[in-house]
Structure 1
Amino acid sequence: MKIMVPCDEAHHVCDKTQYKESSFWEKLKLYFHLIYCKACRKYTRNNKKLSNTIHKAKVECLDKKCKEAMRLEFEKALKDQLK
């Protein structure tokens, strides 16, 4: 198994780890990469800050009904504008 990973793969694993989607081996490779890569440590730190900020802001998404109503209203307005 390859322990050394390129930065783009480390970024991808960092993102997956943030959402608890990475495997044990992916996390292990990421941690080894972070030992020697200052740029990826900064990326990971900023990624954590962003996730914490969004979590603290308690951002709520629209439910499916609201999204569908908004989409229909938008399509109607677009059709009216094209007439």
Structure 2
Amino acid sequence: MMFLFKCSETAKVCDKSQYKEASILENIKLKLHLLHCKCCRNYSENNCKLTKSIKTAHIKTFPVQQKKFLKAQINKEMQSYPKT
């Protein structure tokens, strides 16, 4: 059928859809494909779970100043060792 995606195209549109980058027509085609393709449906479900996990992970990173300080400390420490 011309109005359905191939599985390889579906994965790309699934990713776009998750980030609200897919058009209305792409979303409709995606939903139709997911109705009959279990493999792509599983991919979509796993993709949603991964995105949700990342959003709720509350990942904390060092502030930029602290990163610069640590990098300087490491470089200073490395220079104090003799090169072999």
TM-score by length of 1: 0.71
Give the structure with the higher percent helix: 1
Question: Could you give the per-residue CA deviations for residues 16-50 of structure 1, whole angstroms, max 9, x where no partner exists?
Answer: 01111110000000000001000000000000000
Q: Max radius of gyration: which structure?
A: 2
Quote the residue 1:42 is aligned against.
42
- C-alpha distance in structure 2 between counterparts of 1:3 and 1:62, whole Å: 48
User: Closer, same or farther in 2 for the Cα pair 1:59/1:36, shift >3 Å?
Assistant: same
1:59 is matched with: 59
Mark the runs of 5 or more structure 1 residues left unpaired by the alignment: none
AA partner of residue 56 (structure 2): K
TM-score using structure 2 length: 0.70
Residue 14 of structure 1 corresponds to which residue in structure 2?
14
CA RMSD, Structure 1 to Structure 2 (Å):
3.1
Alpha-carbon separation, structure 2, partners of 1:18 and 1:61:
25
The ranges of structure 1 where at least 4 consecutive aligned residues each deviate by more than 3 angstroms after the TM superposition are 60-63
Any idea what the Cα deviations from partners look like across 1:42-71, whole Å, max 9, x if unmatched? 0000000000000010235677x56xx5xx
Instruction: Structure 2: give runs of 5+ residues left out of the alignment.
Output: 80-84
Q: Judging changes above 3 Å, is the alpha-carbon distance between structure 1 residues 13 and 60 closer, same or farther for their aligned structure 2 residues? A: farther
